[in-house]
Amino acid sequence: MHIHLDALAVARTCAPDEPAILNRPHAAARAARFFVEKFPGKSLYAVKANPSPDLIRILWDSGVTHYDVASIGEVRMVRATLPDATLCFMHPVKSPSAIAEAYGVHGVRVFSLDSLEELDKIVRATTQANGGELPTDLTLCVRLRVSSEYSELSLAAKFGCELSHARELLQAARQVADCLGICFHVGSQAMSPHAYVQALEKARAAIVDAAVTVDIIDVGGGFPSIYPGMNPPPLEDYFALIDRTYESLPVSYSAELWCEPGRALCAEYNSMIVRVEKRRENELYINDGAYGALFDAAHVGWRFPVRVLRAEGAAMSEELVPYSFYGPTCDDMDHMEGPFELPADIRVGDYIEIGMLGAYGAAMKTAFNGFDANEVFVVSDEPMASQYRGDRRDSRVSDNVVSLR
Ligand SMILES: *Cc1c(COP(=O)(O)O)cnc(C)c1O
């Protein structure tokens, strides 16, 4: 595939009529190598953040061997893409047929659970898939409910067993598990490493109370990326605090530390080029939106970095003003509040690059109202922000005006 220099080059040479997704393979590879080399344990990629097979192959080539999958669809897709990957079925509520197919057909041995009912379901479905005998090779991870107070997106309400029920569940799971783990999720985009310390302390309490041997501590996802208004501490700080707290836990001497990054491994992989189709005061009508890659911008007010790409090279105002966006569908909800800072004289026909859409962006596109077309281009420039460049201060988030000579 032809590699373009950057978004401006794509806008200039291709003038895309539909929203265009830009892939940055080098950025995803760099994020993967960072986790593989620096996280003091094993890194599982949380596939739901961006299930693109191209991305998954890049992560594999960069050393990510384990994949956190949450549905039988993800199991089948990752297995078809990576025959040798280790798949971990980390959704705590699964259908019996999904468990049986994952175990029997795709070689999945790792399952998470947060209730006795799910444990029973896993035992029955894997026994059936194992020709009627209880398997002796199961890794079972009990999901604890932990606080999301440090995170931008809560994951505290839906899953996870309360500490008061953890003893019963850990002891029951220990009876059938070859390997027993404890997992949790501190919420997505955790803005402080203390989120993990607090959750690990809860894991400690559960281990002590249940008095069982624990072989895996899985600190889940939540590792942050950089967005406008969200500048988290460096990931090294997270890794150091997690490592120190983990080392003090009463786990088996051969225990393993795992994590499940989604966002942090793929946020920098994609940006998008949209076109301004109409301007009404400071509202820009663009050709992607709430039902496209901007789901989070519309529904949880997430802000993404933007820069204008003016294709015909005329002078452009230096003054930046705040805009909101409307997407292309006929729905009032197709609105992104922002604010998105762009030049005062932006006009119909201008293109905008919207950055950091690799996590929960490109993956969210629907075909609602017939707006599902998009082209994909590969570019070689830096993402609009990066956790992995060494110099975190030199962020191009503010460098949002690019004009053609
Ligand atoms: C969504 C999810 C992840 C990834 O979370 P990020 O915040 O994207 O890192 C990891 N583990 C589980 C179980 C999840 O549901």
Q: Is the CB of 263 under 6 A from ligand 1?
A: yes
Q: Where in the chain is the domain with CATH 3.20.20.10?
A: 26-266
Reading the block at residue 255, the tokens are 């225990």
Q: Where in the chain is the domain with CATH 2.40.37.10?
A: 3-21+268-379
SS3 content of the chain, % helix, strand, coil (to 5): 30, 25, 45
- Cβ partners under 8 Å of residue 115, min gap 6: 92, 161, 169
Per-residue model confidence as pLDDT tens digits over 238-264: 999 999 999 999 998 999 999 999 999
* Calpha distance 295→368 (Å, rounded): 12
Q: Is the CB of 223 under 6 A from ligand 1?
A: yes
- Cβ partners under 8 Å of residue 43, min gap 6: 32, 35, 36, 64, 66, 258, 259, 260, 261, 265
Q: Phi/psi at 227 (nearest 5 deg)? A: -135, 165
Q: Phi/psi at 341 (nearest 5 deg)? A: -85, 120
312 DSSP assignment: T
Q: Which pLDDT score is estimated for 396?
A: 41
The answer to whether 266 and 34 have CB atoms below 8 angstroms apart is: no
Taking the centre of ligand 1 as the mean of its atom positions, its distance from the CA of residue 388, in whole angstroms, is 20
Q: Is the CB of 260 under 6 A from ligand 1?
A: yes
Q: Which pLDDT score is estimated for 312?
A: 66
* Element containing residue 354 per DSSP (H, E): strand 351-354
- Top mutation candidate among 48, 263, 295, 364 for ligand 1, by most atoms within 8 Å of CB: 48
* Calpha distance 314→167 (Å, rounded): 68
Which CATH code is given to the segment(s) 3-21+268-379?
Answer: 2.40.37.10
* Calpha distance 124→110 (Å, rounded): 15
| Lookup result for tokens 């901007």 | 294
* Calpha distance 350→340 (Å, rounded): 15
Point out the residues of the chain with pLDDT beneath 70.
Answer: 311-314, 391-405
Number of alpha helices (DSSP H) and beta strands (DSSP E) in the chain:
11, 20
Atom number, ligand 1, closest to the C-alpha of residue 222: 7
First to last CA, the chain: 27
Helices of type H across 223-344 = 235-247, 263-266, 295-299
- At 151 the three-state DSSP class reads strand
CA distance to 170, 236, 289, per residue, from 358 (Å): 36, 22, 15
- Top mutation candidate among 47, 67, 188 for ligand 1, by most atoms within 8 Å of CB: 188
Which CATH code is given to the segment(s) 26-266?
Answer: 3.20.20.10
The answer to whether 210 and 161 have CB atoms below 8 angstroms apart is: no
Name the nearest CA neighbour of 76 among 49, 97, 92.
Answer: 97
Q: Which pLDDT score is estimated for 364?
A: 86
- Cβ partners under 8 Å of residue 112, min gap 6: 88, 89, 90, 91, 92, 140, 141, 142, 143, 181, 183
- At 280 the three-state DSSP class reads strand
